[in-house]
Chains A and B, each alone.
Chain A
Amino acid sequence: MFWLIPLFPGASALILAVFGKWLPKKAVSWQACLSVFASFVVSVISFFGLLQIPAESLPLVKTLFPWIQSGSFQADLSLQLDPLSSIMTLVVSGVGFLIHVYSVGYMAHDKGYKRYFTYLNLFTFAMLILVMGANLVLMFVGWEGVGLCSYLLIGFWFEKHSAANAGKKAFIVNRIGDAGFILGIFFILLVVGSGDFRAINGAIQGGVVTQGMATLIALLLFVGATGKSAQIPLYVWLPDAMEGPTPVSALIHAATMVTAGVYLVSRMNLLFTLSGVAGQVVGLIGAVTAIFAATMALTQNDIKRVLAYSTISQIGYMFIGCGVGAYAAGMFHLYTHAFFKSLLFLAAGSVMHALSGELDMRKMGGLRKYLPLTYPTFLVGAIAIAGVPFLSGFFSKDAILTRAFAQGQYFIWALGLMGAVLTAFYMFRLVFLTFFGQERIEQQAKEHLHESPRVMTVPLVILAFFAIVAGYVGLPVVFGEKANLFGRFLEPVIHPGSEAHLGLSTEWMLILISVAVALCGIYIAYVFYLKSPQTPHRVVARFPFLYRVLHNKYYVDEAYNAVFVKPLVNGSRAVYDHFDLRVIDGAIDGTAAAAGFAGKALSWLQSGLVKDYALAFLLGVALFLGFLLF
């Protein structure tokens, strides 16, 4: 019955799209939330069902009907469930449900309420298709479906110019990645002859795919992953995507859709392992992105943008995991990240809600006493992401870094560690600027200052709970060989490959280093923003150039604008001016003008006198007869 999982939100989206206009608001809220909850229930049941099934009979595949048949190529509409899909469905429907509930409160006064829930349900449906599709072609449908919903929801307030532009940017940047993805699919179809994951894995294990081919395909697929998961060089759309409603940022642009790239790489882990080079590229891109995005988060003043850069950085960590062969660790970080990052976004949304939509941290401060529930939950999220021991983020980030170290990837490990300092620093900068220090709230916003309603705070509390405990299913090896339940659960899908083992003392040392690093980052933030708030200004005065570069996000947007967007726009305009207007329009206008001219020139024949016509008739007949007779 696992194939029912995507059906609930899909049906709900369809009903809302067709009949939403006549449904009362309350019914819309209930239906949208319950459909996702139903998916979650089925996901949980399927998960426990999966635990009973021996690894040999995995994955479970349900073929609903044949979809594309062309010659020897066939793609079915078939859904599959294996440990990897199961974790994704749990995350998507579980976190998705909480965010649906939160949205009921957050979007309560929006005039696009029903449209919002239609899109959100449609997104959940597409995301579930993405993670459950049993072949690459169906997965691509889900992949494009979530991209569409992302576009629709970023531009949800389309009357705002910046939101409409951000939606377009996300869509266009994703097109570039998708071009790579679809080329990768074509190559797989060419080599394997089928998009089915079992067939692909069989072909790889059977030696049908050469190493060079594997590298080519893996890199093409990774281009798609960098687009969807906002990695260098295609990350530019994600910060702008914060124009959408905050729950959307939490669901799509933090917890689920942007991690689809990590899912893709993990799903194709055999291919990446076979290639070797592609794995290196994935790890390096991940590490560079992790630190690059973290530095950009340091100087942003917009609370959601800091979180957006943090998301890019954390996905970088997941790719480090995939790149060094620790796919299970990457997936583990995906799973813990879904909790604490959606928690952070939702809590940030609650702050915005309390301050009548204020996003600028310079106009916050001291909110701790006004938001008695938002503050502790946000703090939990911040501690979790910073990598403080005993919370989920610590275990997953540590698993990735330890594996990178164990594989001898010291450079990547060092980058990851530096990123961890920065992460702790910018997260606590956020906490201190928002909830501590002196109040810098504008008078107008202060009058309406209030804690959010129950429907918003309860999801926060639940997510905070999971942000704390989610990590305990994947304990590091120092707690025993069998402590990593998460990794063992994934073993049927993720082939462990050559695993380098570290001594226990090294393991402990690495753990201590990451703890030290996290606490160090938090302490620096404390010194900078609480103990002596003048420090940031002094640092900025000391390194004005560095600050300008960081504050302007390395001028990457400007560079892309100058290198890609401007020439394209100007080139298109030139083609429009010279080819469209002159050649095409000229040809059409010319045809019309020629017909008009011919009509004018011959119109004297049409004298309007019956006798002239009769004469022409007579002459014609005479001529014709003469021709016949002689």
Chain B
Amino acid sequence: MIPLGYFIGLSVLLFALGVIAFFIKRDLMTMFMAVEVMLNAANLAFVALAKAAGSPAGQVIVFFVITVAAAEAAVGLAIILLVFRQKKSIKAEDMRLMKG
């Protein structure tokens, strides 16, 4: 039996990696993957805590997160593709249309 702290530690590590990757990488694809890592870090924490608490609620939420993530991946990838067609680039700093 692996103690709960290990799961949480791994989750925090994954989340931190996701955040760092999101901020230091410049192309949209990698940033997108970093977001996925953060989501899965949260999923891991949910599942572990659900097991520890003996309640299925956390697992249910994980299913929701996976579903949303799948939908988000479909939309996000499509957007990235369209952006690339327009700008011939997927660098985040090239998209500054919303600058005030």
Contacts and interface: CB of A to CB of B under 8 A. Distances in A.
Interface of A: 602-611, 614-615, 618
B82 interface: no
A608 B99 contact: yes
A604 B100 CA distance: 6
A606 B99 contact: yes
Contacts of A615: 23
Nearest to B25: A611
A304 to B, nearest CB: 70
A618 to B, nearest CB: 7
A608 B96 contact: yes
A323 B92 CA distance: 95
A609 B96 contact: yes
B19 A607 contact: no
A139 B23 CA distance: 82
6 contacts: A606-B100, A607-B96, A610-B92, A611-B23, A611-B92, A614-B22
B19 A605 contact: no
B100 A618 contact: no
Given A608-B97, A608-B98, 4 more contacts: A603-B100, A606-B100, A611-B22, A611-B23
B23 A610 contact: no
A608 B92 contact: no
A609 B22 contact: no
A303 B19 CA distance: 97
Contacts of B99: 606-608
Contacts, number: 30
A605 B22 CA distance: 20
B73 interface: no
A602 B99 CA distance: 12
Interface string B1-28: 0000000000000000001001100000
Contacts of A607: 96, 99-100
Nearest to B93: A609
B95 A605 contact: no
A605 B96 CA distance: 13
Contacts of B19: 618
A312 B84 CA distance: 88
B20 to A, nearest CB: 11
Contacts of B95: 608, 610
Interface string B22-56: 11000000010000000000000000000000000
- 10 closest Cβ pairs, A-B complex: A606-B100, A608-B99, A603-B100, A608-B96, A608-B98, A610-B92, A607-B99, A609-B93, A611-B92, A611-B23
Contacts of A605: 100
Nearest to B92: A610
A606 B23 contact: no
Contacts of B22: 611, 614
Nearest to B26: A611
Given A614-B22, A615-B23, A618-B19, A609 B92 contact: yes
B98 A606 contact: yes
Interface string B54-98: 000000000000000000000000000000000000001101111
Nearest to A606: B100
A204 B19 CA distance: 93
A138 to B, nearest CB: 64
Contacts of A608: 95-100
A603 B100 CA distance: 5
Contacts of B92: 609-611
A561 B22 CA distance: 80
A606 B97 CA distance: 10
Nearest to A615: B23
Contacts of B97: 608
Nearest to B98: A608
Contacts of B93: 609, 611
Nearest to B97: A608
Contacts of B31: 610
